A and B are shown apart, each in its own frame.
Chain A
Amino acid sequence: MVDAATSRLEGLRGGAIDPGTATVVLFLLGAAIFLLIGCLQSKNFAQLTIEGLALGSVYGSLALALVLVYRATHVINFAQGELAMLTTYIAYELMLKGLSYWTAFAATLAIAFVLGTVLQVTIIRPVQHRSVIATVIVTVGLFILIDGIVNWIWGGDFKFMKSPFGNGSFEVGGVKILHLYVGMVIVVFASVVLVWALFRFTKLGLGMRAAALRPAAASLVGVRVDSMLAIGWGLAALLGAVAGLMAEPTQIFLSPGLMQPILVYAFAAAVLGGLESPAGALIGGLLIGVALTLIAGYKPHIGPITITSELQLPFSFVVLLVVLLIKPSGLFGRREVRRV
């Protein structure tokens, strides 16, 4: 009994590697080796993997937005994807008004930040301390409201947006890599690194981490917890906007349904990574992205079922379910301790 407790403590201090961590490392190593061998064996496989990593970075970025919100306010924002879709439409409108892509991009991120902050203050704060059901329903209402607003202003028909990276491609060892995919990964990771740096190196970031982890203690040392949580929502909306803008070119058209499947992939990614872990969300996103493109590309048979692109959503559902049943804390989350 005492031994178990000490070893648990040592595990926490980083002294010993507990079996859970070892399994996770083995799993990730296995996945990496599988992908590496596959890429060396087949050009098609390599192509799909690259596409999957690019799409996965988008899923990861939306998943990260969900995780930021969850860490800060213990709310799952079901409207996160619709918010991203709305900001993509805003970018579309700005470009229609004559702004260049990257100017519109920057302006959209700023708008998204403000929008996220305002939403937290106006509709989330009043229900934040109520039941899970109440917060879920408010974000569900927001989901429907945003969908309605976009359909009202822009209509449900498809819109064309010009691609920020053109249609060009490189060729590396016989494998065609679209500029788009490289661009997507760079943009997503640049924004993620910036947000991470904000959290890690600035006083504001310190305040936000404090507000998320120990709200009461943080407010005692003078952190304005409410403002911090609102800024957290703003940053999440900003990351969502990046996800929306980077997802759009992969879809050919812009439509109000843009982010609905991606939201489910992001849920699966966030849970796979551990709902509390930002790094986990990103890695989860990449894993889900690669798995989904490989599935759509190879249509594997599992028993009598052939998994095609129609089954990508059900596949994410199964991933979500299996992760929660086998390892609810995900790859990188800490196990939750429930007090009686």
Chain B
Amino acid sequence: MKNLPALGSLLVVAGVLSALPFLISDYNVSLVAQVGIFFIAVLGLNILTGYTGQISIGHGAFMAIGGYTTAVLSRDHHTNLVVTMVVAFALCFVVGLIVGLPALRLSGVYLALVTFALAVSIPQIPLQYSTFLGGSGGVQSAKTVSNLWIYGAAWTASAILFVLAWLILRGRIGRAFRAVRDSEIAAVASGVELPVYKTLAFGISAAYAGVAGSLFVLATNGFAQPSEFDVFLSLEILIGAAIAGLGSLWGILAGAAFVGLLPQISTSVPVIGAEHGRDVVFGAAVILVMLLLPDGFAGLLGRIRRLARA
């Protein structure tokens, strides 16, 4: 019965999201779909950063891998797009495990440096192997889909992955993750196998980013381009996770909405102008939020709840 309010809010969110496409314009559908895509990526990074205490500024790299997987499979084999998302999930899980292996020995600042370098490096790979990966022009998938399709796919995937995350985190694995975050030494002493859980967290979180990357490419007319996956994408996901705070559905929704919508909304800022307003407002907002909400949106909610109870 303890979970009743949580279940309630979940149902409310699901209800609103299913009704929304019938009420808003096609452009707004694409915006909310964008939020869904970021929801998946932020949810994934939250497992790594929020639950396991490891940082990654490289999740744009995993999104790139997922996105290129979809585009290339569709171009070469006309694979069903949903199947390509599953492949992206699996592939990024494996790549995430591999990246997670060196991350075992790194922590804090060093991990931030390495993953940042990864984010900057990955978009160079298609330039080097331009015959297969299309160079700077990118890869065009064989099929394009409507905004409504992406909306449905993004939020269905979000729901599935949210439930999956909940199942993973509520049990043994989640407990191990949190133990690693709170104190690695204490976790080892209590029998948590550090290598297993740290790489596992990386793998799961990368797999989520992979699915987000697939959808991200489909949302840009099925075009996978190196410039789409620049370092700013990685920064945005990390910011989303920071704003989300720790493990609340509302927090993650807020984080995803922040990175998914703010750049779009802020293009209409007065004075600065549409073209450049985006980064100015976004950057300033990030700094302000970090200064004012140390524990992200989830922390704010917690504070409000405590105030309401008192």
Contact = CB atoms under 8 A, between A and B. Distances in A.
Interface of A: 70, 74, 76, 78, 123, 126-127, 130, 132-134, 136-138, 140-149, 151-152, 155, 260-261, 264, 267-268, 271, 275, 308, 310-314, 316-317, 320-321, 324-325, 328, 340
A313 B231 CA distance: 12
Nearest to B109: A76
B294 A148 contact: no
Contact of B272 (A74, A127, A152, A325): A152
B279 A145 contact: yes
Given A130-B294, A152-B273, A260 B286 contact: no
Interface residues of B, number: 46
Going nearest first, the 6 A-B pairs with the smallest beta carbon separation are A148-B279, A145-B283, A141-B286, A144-B283, A148-B280, A152-B276
Given A264-B116, A314-B125, A325-B102, 16 more contacts: A76-B109, A132-B109, A132-B112, A136-B55, A138-B287, A140-B235, A142-B287, A143-B283, A144-B279, A145-B280, A148-B277, A148-B282, A151-B276, A155-B276, A317-B121, A320-B113
Given A140-B57, A313-B124, A325-B102, A147 B279 contact: yes
Interface of B: 49, 55, 57, 102, 105-106, 108-110, 112-114, 116-118, 120-121, 124-125, 127-128, 185, 231-232, 235, 238-239, 242, 272-273, 275-287, 290-291, 294
Residue picked from B278, B282, B290, most chain A C-beta under 10 Å: B290
Nearest to A133: B55
B283 A148 contact: yes
The interface residues of chain B, by DSSP majority, are classed as: helix
Given A123-B291, A325-B105, A267 B283 contact: no
6 contacts: A76-B109, A133-B49, A147-B279, A149-B279, A267-B116, A317-B117
Contact of A132 (B55, B235, B291): B55
B104 to A, nearest CB: 9
B112 A145 contact: no
A134 B242 CA distance: 8
Contacts of B185: 340
